[in-house]
Chains A and B, each alone.
Chain A
Amino acid sequence: MGPAVHTTVDRTIVAPSPPVKGRRSRGDSWPYVFILPMVVCLGLVFAYPLITVIRNSFYSTSMGETTFSGLENYRSLFQDPVFMTSLFNSLKLLAVVPVVTVVAMTIALMLYEGTKGWRAYRLMVFVPYIIPATAIGISFSYLLQQNGILNITLRGLSLDFLALDWIGNSNIVLFSIGGVLVWTQLGFGVVVFTASLLSLPRELSEAAAIDGATRWQTNRLVVLPQVRGTVEFFLVLQAIQVIAWTFPYVYVLTHGGPGNASSVMDLYVWRYAFQYSSPGLSSAAAVVLLLISGVLIAIYTRLRAKQGER
């Protein structure tokens, strides 16, 4: 496997082709060959299913026969209380995003000040983000159940009134899921924000300090405006994550229960396709989910383009 061998082989391949100039004007064909495998995969896994799911949302199946039914699925969807619960739950969970952002930024600013051992702190806070959601969900389901560790601890501290049924009470369960999401996403925020802060030139903050600005003033007026772009990206990515990627947490933690109190959009799409066998409703819900994420994706690509211009 010496490089010399490769070189000679490649030379013989190249030899018959016309000189460089002629090749360029003819238009190279190699890029098409290079992207072909990717195009095939993206077509199969993204383009085809997207088209199919949109098409299916306008068809309904009854007695094994599939017929065009216009917006019928969408009408039933918005009359389905389970769907409305799932939709609103997903929207309510968006409250996780500002919480994660503010707490992560606070921690990142603390670490950025050159706190002793900041690398170790960052290392540990990041762990929840990478370990499997399934294991996390199982662990939290035991911690948060009626007689779980959290409540035992609370009772031990004579805080019985706080020992609530965290995942069994339909009024509280969404807060618990939100809490678990904050727990998993926090480290991601900390890592993103510290990376961004560390890339800033130190001179500006130092100048502000010399001018007598307090640390709070320096952070608010000098540091934060410079990382605004990163924060915008983070907000959008987190919003997409919370709206459309919560399935493993909800599935393992509550299965959407009690009743449907903690059902979310992606759980609904999965359940109506694979447990209740109503592909029409599931497809329509998938399209609604797609539209919501589409808005977020549009913002994301916009931000990306803006960043590219800079």
Chain B
Amino acid sequence: MIRRIKIGSVVKHAFLVLVCVASLYPIWFILQTSLKTNAAYELSPLGLPIHSTASNYLQVIRSMAVPRWAWNSLIVTLISATLSTAIALPAGYAFVFGRFRGRSTLFNSNVAFMVIPPVVLLAPIFTVMVNVHLINRLPSVIIFYVGLFLPFSVFFITNFMRTIPVELLEAARMDGLSPFGTLRLIVAPLTSPALFTLMLVNIIYGWNELLIALVFLQDDKSRTLMAGLSVFQGRYVTQQPLVMAGSFLSIVPILLLYAFGQRFFVKGLTAGIGK
């Protein structure tokens, strides 16, 4: 009996280790390839980077648009994540504590918008952006992202605010606090853990987004990192280590965020499911 359990447990751990290796290998492959010279990579694509070199990184950072693209990504991501959170906060408050006409219709549409494929919205918004001369300029993507992040943000904040006891708000009103004051002084501070999680989720979404950035930002100066990388891939077909250096740079911020905010991630990214 004991032996059977032991064998079972070994098999289980072997399987789990295998799954983890399979999950992480493509990322390790990016890193190890980025540390090889082109010649070393062609000689031994599989092998470890014994004579590792930072030359790909230096080339990518010094003589290519990668730093510019990373900067654009950062700006776009931070502004749109912050704006959508800031817009969702009062909306969530109104949904939970206010009464107004069309409340449930609006909330249900919001839930449905959460899963509308963005590609469907692309062409009409593109026409609008052409007309207001925002193509190849970051605000075009920022506006789109703010809208795209909103349904989930509102949904997430609403769910969290439902756990705030109503008595607290009654007390605030007795004290003569306006709805705006109640939101700012009582509800917003209580909601801050959720807001933090939400920012993380939106930042991941924005940083990783490719389709919209690709369509709206078409010159080298205005591209985000993802849009730039996809162009990069086609431009340097024969220099895979170089492309891998760019790719790895795009992953690093996400890995850092994950390392520091793992708990929040899991909570935020699984919120659409419910228990």
Binding site for B on A (CB under 8 A): 3, 6-7, 9-11, 13-15, 20, 27-28, 30-35, 37-39, 41-42, 44-46, 48-50, 52-53, 56, 107, 110-111, 115-116, 121, 123-136, 138-143, 148-149, 152-153, 183, 186-188, 191-192, 195-196, 199, 229-230, 233-234, 237, 240, 243-245, 247-248, 251-252, 266, 269-270, 273-274, 279, 282-283, 286, 289-290, 293, 296-297, 300-301, 304, 307
Residue from A186, A301, A307 whose CB has the most chain B CB atoms within 10 Å? A301
**A contacts with B: majority SS:** helix
Q: Are A53 and B123 in contact (CB under 8 A)?
A: yes
Query: Closest 6 CB pairs between A and B?
Result: A45-B147, A31-B98, A10-B181, A244-B117, A49-B124, A34-B94
Determine the distance from Cα of A276 to Cα of B123 in the docked complex, in whole angstroms.
13
Determine the distance from Cα of A28 to Cα of B179 in the docked complex, in whole angstroms.
10
Q: Is B198 an interface residue (CB 8 A)?
A: no
Q: In the complex, how many angstroms separate the beta carbon of B28 from the nearest chain A beta carbon?
A: 10
Q: Are A38 and B88 in contact (CB under 8 A)?
A: yes
Q: B123: which A residues are within 8 A, CB to CB?
A: 49, 53, 56, 273-274, 279, 282-283, 286
A-B pairs with beta carbons under 8 Å apart, 18 shown: A7-B177, A38-B87, A41-B147, A42-B113, A44-B125, A49-B123, A56-B124, A127-B258, A131-B255, A132-B210, A134-B208, A136-B26, A191-B270, A233-B273, A243-B117, A270-B119, A273-B123, A296-B115
Q: Are B87 and A37 in contact (CB under 8 A)?
A: yes
Determine the distance from Cα of A179 to Cα of B36 in the docked complex, in whole angstroms.
27
Proximity string of chain B (19-61) to chain A, C-beta cutoff 8 Å, 1 when within and 0 when not: 1101110110110010000000000011000000000000000
Residue of B nearest to A17 (CB): B178
Residue of B nearest to A307 (CB): B274
Q: Are A42 and B117 in contact (CB under 8 A)?
A: no
Q: Are A115 and B106 in contact (CB under 8 A)?
A: no
Q: A38: which B residues are within 8 A, CB to CB?
A: 87-88, 90-91, 150, 154
Residue from B110, B150, B274 whose CB has the most chain A CB atoms within 10 Å? B274
Q: Are B121 and A34 in contact (CB under 8 A)?
A: no
Q: Are B46 and A135 in contact (CB under 8 A)?
A: no
Q: In the complex, how many angstroms separate the beta carbon of B88 from the nearest chain A beta carbon?
A: 7
Q: Are A45 and B229 in contact (CB under 8 A)?
A: no
Q: Are A49 and B121 in contact (CB under 8 A)?
A: yes
Determine the distance from Cα of A52 to Cα of B1 in the docked complex, in whole angstroms.
67
CB neighbors of A among B107-141 (8 A): 108-113, 115-128
Binding site for A on B (CB under 8 A): 9, 12-13, 15-16, 19-20, 22-24, 26-27, 29-30, 33, 45-46, 84, 87-88, 90-91, 93-95, 98-100, 103, 106, 108-113, 115-128, 143-144, 146-148, 150-151, 154, 173, 176-181, 183-185, 204, 207-208, 210-211, 214-215, 226, 229-230, 233, 240, 243-244, 247-248, 250-251, 254-255, 258, 262, 265-266, 269-270, 272-275
Q: Are B178 and A121 in contact (CB under 8 A)?
A: no
Q: Are A10 and B16 in contact (CB under 8 A)?
A: no
Determine the distance from Cα of A59 to Cα of B185 in the docked complex, in whole angstroms.
52
Q: Are A248 and B211 in contact (CB under 8 A)?
A: yes
Q: In the complex, how many angstroms separate the beta carbon of A41 from the nearest chain B beta carbon?
A: 5
Q: A195: which B residues are within 8 A, CB to CB?
A: 266, 270, 275
Q: Are B124 and A192 in contact (CB under 8 A)?
A: no
Cβ-defined partner of A192 (8 Å) among B12, B33, B273: B273
Q: Are A140 and B184 in contact (CB under 8 A)?
A: no
Q: A191: which B residues are within 8 A, CB to CB?
A: 266, 269-270
Cβ-defined partner of B244 (8 Å) among A33, A125, A138: A138
Determine the distance from Cα of A290 to Cα of B117 in the docked complex, in whole angstroms.
8
Known: A31-B100, A53-B124. Is A131-B270 also a contact (CB below 8 A)?
A: no
